[in-house]
Amino acid sequence: MSEPRPSDRHDASESDDTFAEIVDEATQRDPDLAVIEAGSRTLRTASGPVPGDEVPARPADPEVDKALRAVEQELAGRWGETKLEPSVARIAALMDVLGEPQRAYPSIHITGTNGKTSTARMIEALLGAFDLRTGRYTSPHVQSITERISLDGSPMDPERFIETYQDIKPYVEMVDAQQPYRLSFFEVLTGMAYAAFADAPVDVAVVEVGMGGSWDATNVIDASVAVVTPISLDHTDRLGTTPAEIAGEKAGVIKQDATVILAQQPVDAAQVMLKKAVEVDATVAREGMEFGIVSREIAVGGQLLTLRGLGGEYEGIFLPLYGAHQAHNAAVALSAVEAFFGIGAEQPGSLDHDTVRRAFASVRSPGRLEVVRSSPTVVLDAAHNPAGARATADGLSEAFGFSRLIGVVGASDDKDVRGLLEAFETIFAEVVITQNSTGRAMNADVLAAVAVEVFGGDRVQVEPRLDDALEAAITLAEEEDEYAGAGVLVTGSVITVGEARLLLGRH
């Protein structure tokens, strides 16, 4: 993290007093506007996209596949993503011995609870459309570990992924020997991403946090643009039990003099973010104020948008993704890219509208309201917490006219499964409870017990094997007349969706 200039340093109590005065003044007018005027500065404006990302299959070459499996096995032997020791000491040590590769390029850092990966993909598409070479680091993956590190809009090819791992492995082992704990699975992958981006080299890195922000392994970058997607309750055992507490951790990605693109937030979470911006003299652009959605209508295969960015309005944007939440993600992504180019702060005008349209039209987000089969229609969505499930339910109801919807739900053991199921209760006629193949999966019988409380016993079926669950759900959907419009939604976990995608023949 860069050191603030002497003129940028503020006495903590003075900052607190200033922030409190602004909030108090705004509260006198309207309590819901208390956070709107609390930013240190407001971002005011003067008024060949990359191909869609596909999920890769296993390598066709048996030797390459064997080598990739060996790398996956070595990584799996480290701490998993759910076991954490909150610190950036290990990743910082790795960056040091690698020569600080994360400082070789500018970056856009994305935190929040839901929408991070889709937003990252949109940002990547926009930057690529303006002829910038991009690197994107997101998690978790849907099917292949190589999805996590993307170069020029496509997942890193297996050979390069293996080579990158082998290149940094000696340095990883060196750091392992010096630290109380070995580098984790996620920390090694983060090191690989930053090294690969420097080696490419990329013009800009688009980086999604793994969890939180302050102590997340990705937070060794000094991003000029920090993006905060909507914050809600998730990982409460590690991040906090209120939106404000969670925001406190996620605010760690906001660096000195950065620009913050702030999606719509709960008021208490927004207050925390804006207070952090005051402390580090960051510029804030808020959805609904400096940018947002002007209009949105359903279209065949997605939706048609008019977005207001930091440089004015952009009309006629076709986004081939479903749901209002994706339209909000698009507004955030557009403003983040404008901010990266200095529009709204350093220069007037806007991005080229035709290029923006082409970029958004190219966006794909596998496993996010993704249709993978017809007759009956099968949709996959990686919603894994209540807020994500509500957005999925709304998007599904809006975009699909299902007369009867069957749910297939397999969740992870550490999630608010009751809240997840309750979000789907009004749209599922019946639900098939299952589990994925990983150790993180919640036992199907345990999940089913909660489902019976939510749906009632006559609407719940249990099929522990995912392939059996898919077959049962499709059979239930087919019980109606062929033209009745029944469908299936597979949800509850990115892992469940990824495994279902493979079973349904998507590669």
> In Å, how far are 44, 103, 187, 222, 264 from 136, measured between CA atoms?
28, 15, 16, 16, 24
- Position 20 pLDDT exceeds 50: no
Rounded to whole angstroms, the Cα distance separating 63 from 68 reads: 9
pLDDT at site 215: 86
Tokens 């340095």 map to which residue? 171
Tokens 């009632």 map to which residue? 456
Encoding tokens for residue 75? 């990584």
Sign of CA dihedral 179, 141, 331, 426: negative
What's the order of all strands across the beta sheet hosting 134-137? 41-42, 283-286, 259-262, 225-228, 107-111, 204-208, 134-137, 149-151, 154-155
Rounded to whole angstroms, the Cα distance separating 484 from 471 reads: 19
Which residues have C-beta within 8 Å of that of residue 229, sequence separation ≥ 6?
110, 111, 112, 113, 114, 115, 116, 119, 263, 329, 332
Model confidence over 36-95: pLDDT tens digits?
333 333 332 322 333 444 678 888 999 999 999 999 999 999 987 666 677 899 999 999
pLDDT at site 246: 87
> Mutual orientation of helices 386-399 and 324-340 as an angle, nearest 10°?
110
Sign of CA dihedral 102, 360, 297, 402: negative
The stretch 297-311 carries a mean pLDDT of: 95
Rounded to whole angstroms, the Cα distance separating 492 from 475 reads: 20
Rounded to whole angstroms, the Cα distance separating 155 from 295 reads: 33
> Mutual orientation of helices 386-399 and 417-424 as an angle, nearest 10°?
20
| pLDDT interval class at 445 (50, 70, 90) | very high
Tokens 């090294």 map to which residue? 195
| pLDDT interval class at 19 (50, 70, 90) | very low
Helical segments of 281-352, H only: 324-340
433: nearest Cα among 490, 485, 501: 490
Percent of the chain residues topping a pLDDT of 70: 85
| pLDDT interval class at 344 (50, 70, 90) | confident
| The Cα angle at residue 72 between residues 123 and 388, in degrees rounded to 5 | 40
| pLDDT interval class at 482 (50, 70, 90) | low
Encoding tokens for residue 374? 């017809």
- Position 99 pLDDT exceeds 50: yes
What's the whole-number average pLDDT of the chain? 86
Among 36-45, 107-116, 492-501, whose mean pLDDT is lowest? Answer: 36-45
Model confidence over 180-237: pLDDT tens digits?
999 999 999 999 999 999 999 999 999 999 887 788 999 999 999 999 999 876 555 5
Encoding tokens for residue 182? 């070995």
Percent of the chain residues topping a pLDDT of 90: 70
- Position 3 pLDDT exceeds 50: no
Model confidence over 160-172: pLDDT tens digits?
999 999 999 999 9
State the distance between the two ends of the chain, measured CA to CA, in whole angstroms. Answer: 40
Among 147-156, 383-392, 469-478, whose mean pLDDT is lowest? Answer: 383-392
Among 58-72, 241-255, 258-272, whose mean pLDDT is lowest? Answer: 241-255
Helical segments of 82-210, H only: 89-98, 116-129, 158-178, 185-199
Dihedral pair phi/psi, residue 299, rounded to 5°: -135, 165
Cβ atoms within 10 Å, residue 63 = 8
pLDDT at site 170: 98
Higher pLDDT, 280 or 36: 280
pLDDT at site 415: 81
Which residues have C-beta within 8 Å of that of residue 321, sequence separation ≥ 6?
118, 302, 303, 363, 365, 368, 369
Residue 372 region, left (φ>0) first, then alpha (ψ -120 to 50), else beta?
alpha
**Widest Cα–Cα separation across the chain:** 73
